[in-house]
């Protein structure tokens, strides 16, 4: 997420506030949108998930084996995202995302050739690791739109949320039409074509400069901010991380078991399907509204609203039954939850850029994502154990309420931003971020 992301530094030399610069940013942002759809972790996770059933039938593998392969995919993605963040900050996002797409293409084209379970597990792990290169797109968007960074990251989060909802159905149809081997061949061919387009499309430089001139630029422009070593010694970083740990563990487990939780209350699958359209619209609205609010406020305390709204969702789920509230109340709870969850997605990256700058942005985001992934992985078995002991999901809902309220209180304790947003003026784009003051680690 870099060369494009740091256009504020890369192209600051030539009319940054001009229409040509605006076109340059939009072109790069459009490339990021395409890259997120095809060259990030959403695609491999959904593709492997859709292919598991046919693979089980063909090879005679049982559910435990297939679940292990999917766990390898997820854990490989979680373990690789931090070192990939380091590579992005060191060498730039453009080569990382392009190589990541090329590697995903190679793995996808190799998957149809597997004959043994260990081969499938190894390739699934490689696919998950390569998908983590999608972190580069966030880095690019964060640097591209300094004054409007919140809205840009909100729109990007909205795309990711919508893709997460739609991609499983698309991959399922692809597997039905062409078989699981044909599906991976098609995905590999698309990624192979995408890789050079990413490298070319994310080339920064003077607006209107030739491609050769852009290629000669350094891999990553200099960015202001704190080093990763300084960030991990900062109380603010660990406060933001802590705010997401309990919510991630309980939220991840609750989402995994949500269908079963609603079924125990007497609702069928039809109730979930009826609420799907409003849930999708709420997801889109939540991410966009969060971005707009972030750009119009100068305090991280607005994040408390998103977490308190999620607490309201848990209250709704705990109370709703077919006789009390019925499907309308269930749909309202799902919509509020989707809105609040989508609103939380751009918060962490945005706050990291405002507290620590962009110098080690990808490294810091990768570390936070790794820590959170560990807790998300623990959430499902932890909740399963809780339900086994208590016999219902009430304790899960109560824990979810407490975790969201705790996260809101942690955000209310954060100090003002250290790298304040600035506005374009006099035809020049102020470099992002701009230190507000020299603040010692707290």
- Is 439 domain-assigned? no
Q: Is residue 72 part of a domain?
A: yes
> Do the domain assignments include residue 221?
no
Within a domain: residue 350? yes
- pLDDT, tens only, 167-205: 888 888 888 888 889 989 998 999 999 888 888 888 754
Residues 48, 116 within the same domain: yes
195 and 331 together in one domain: no
Q: What is the rounded CA–CA span in Å between residue 180 and residue 200?
A: 31
Q: What is the pTM of this model?
A: 0.81
| Residue 323 placed within a domain | yes
Give DSSP secondary structure letters for 342-399. Answer: HHHHHHHHHHHHHHHBSTTHHHHHHHHHHHHHHHHHHHHHHHHHHHHHHSSSHHHHHH
Range of the domain at 402: 228-420
Q: Render pLDDT for 39-87 as a digit per residue (tens, 0 to 9).
A: 777 877 788 888 888 888 888 888 778 778 888 888 888 899 999 999 9
First to last CA, the chain: 28
The Cα–Cα gap between 399 and 388 comes to 16
How much is the pLDDT for 366?
93
pLDDT value of residue 411: 93
Q: What is the pLDDT of residue 155?
A: 85
- Chain position carrying tokens 């992985």: 377
Does residue 67 sit in the same domain as residue 182?
yes
Contact 320, 275 (CB under 8 A): no
Separation between Cα atoms, residue 434 and residue 373, nearest integer Å = 31
3-state secondary structure of 421: coil
| Token duo for residue 140 | 């690019």
In a shared domain, residues 199 and 263: no
- Has residue 168 been placed in a domain? yes
Q: Are residues 135 and 92 in the same domain?
A: yes
Q: Are residues 207 and 330 located together in one domain of the fold? A: no
* Last residue in a domain, options 189, 215, 241: 215
What is the reported pLDDT for 384?
66
Residues 325 and 374 reside in one and the same domain: yes
Residues 136 and 254 in one domain: no
Q: Is there a single domain that holds both residue 199 and residue 245?
A: no
Q: What is the CATH number of the domain that holds 379?
A: 1.20.1250.20
Work out how many domains the chain is built from and give that number.
2
C-alpha angle 396-366-89 in degrees, rounded to nearest 5: 165
3-state helix, strand, coil in the chain (%, to 5): 75, 0, 20
DSSP per residue, 95-150: HHHHHHHHHHHHHHHHGGG--SHHHHHHHHHHHHHHHGGGHHHHHHHHHH-STTHH
Residue 2 maps to a domain: no
The three-state (H, E, C) secondary structure of 14-27, written as one string: CCCCCHHHHHHHHH
Q: Based on the domain organization, do 190 and 323 belong to the same domain?
A: no
SS (H, E, C) 287-302: HHHHHHHHHHCCCHHH
Task: Mark whether 211 and 260 lie in a shared domain.
Answer: no
Domain final residue pick, 159, 183, 215: 215
| Distance (Å, whole) CA 305 – CA 411 | 10
Nearest one of 105, 112, 128, 147 to 16, comparing CA atoms = 147
CA neighbours within 13 Å on the CB side: how many for 114? 23
Closest CA to 302 of 412, 431, 156: 412
Q: Is residue 275 part of a domain?
A: yes
Closest CA to 431 of 149, 220, 146: 146
Residue ranges, the chain, pLDDT below 70: 1-22, 204-223, 252-260, 379-381, 383-384, 387-388, 390-392, 421-442
Asked if residue 375 and residue 311 are part of one domain, the reply reads yes
Place of tokens 């889109």: 284
């Amino acid at each position: 997420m870099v060369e494009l992301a740091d256009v504020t530094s890369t192209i600051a030399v030539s009319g940054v506030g001009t229409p040509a610069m605006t076109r340059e940013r939009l072109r790069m942002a459009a490339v990021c949108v395409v890259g997120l759809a095809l060259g990030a972790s959403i695609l491999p996770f959904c593709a492997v998930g859709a292919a598991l059933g046919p693979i089980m039938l063909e090879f005679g593998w049982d559910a435990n084996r297939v679940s292990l392969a999917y766990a390898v995919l997820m854990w490989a993605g979680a373990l690789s995202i931090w070192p990939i963040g380091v590579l992005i900050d060191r060498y730039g996002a453009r080569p990382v995302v392009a190589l990541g797409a090329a590697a995903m293409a190679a793995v996808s084209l190799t998957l149809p050739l597997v004959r043994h379970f260990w081969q499938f597990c190894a390739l699934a792990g490689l696919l998950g690791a390569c998908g983590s290169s999608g972190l580069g797109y966030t880095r690019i968007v964060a640097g591209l739109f300094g004054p409007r960074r919140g809205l840009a990251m909100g729109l990007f989060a909205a795309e990711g949320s919508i893709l997460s909802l739609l991609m499983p159905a698309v991959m399922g149809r692809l597997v039905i039409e062409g078989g699981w081997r044909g599906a991976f061949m098609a995905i590999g061919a698309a990624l192979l074509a995408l890789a050079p387009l990413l490298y070319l499309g994310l080339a920064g430089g003077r607006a209107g400069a030739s491609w050769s001139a852009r290629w000669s630029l350094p891999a990553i422009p200099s960015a202001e901010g704190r080093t990763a070593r300084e960030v991990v010694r900062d109380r603010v970083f660990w406060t933001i991380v802590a705010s997401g740990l309990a919510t991630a563990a309980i939220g991840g487990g609750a989402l995994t078991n949500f269908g079963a939780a609603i079924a125990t209350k007497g609702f069928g699958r039809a109730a979930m399907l009826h609420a799907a359209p409003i849930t999708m619209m709420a997801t889109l609205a939540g991410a966009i509204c969060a971005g707009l609010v972030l750009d119009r406020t100068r305090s991280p305390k607005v994040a408390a609203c998103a977490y308190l709204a999620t607490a309201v969702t848990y209250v709704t789920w705990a109370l709703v039954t077919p006789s009390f509230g019925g499907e309308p109340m269930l749909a309202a709870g799902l919509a509020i939850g989707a809105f609040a969850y989508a609103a939380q997605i751009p918060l962490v990256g945005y706050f990291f850029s405002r507290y620590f700058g962009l110098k080690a942005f990808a490294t810091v985001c990768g570390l936070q994502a790794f820590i959170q992934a560990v807790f998300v992985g623990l959430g499902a078995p932890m909740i399963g154990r809780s339900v086994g002991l208590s016999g219902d999901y009430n304790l899960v809902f109560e824990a979810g309420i407490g975790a969201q309220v705790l996260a809101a209180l942690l955000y209310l304790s954060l100090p003002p931003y250290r790298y304040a947003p600035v506005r374009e003026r006099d035809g020049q784009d102020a470099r992002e971020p701009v230190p507000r003051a020299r603040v010692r680690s707290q």
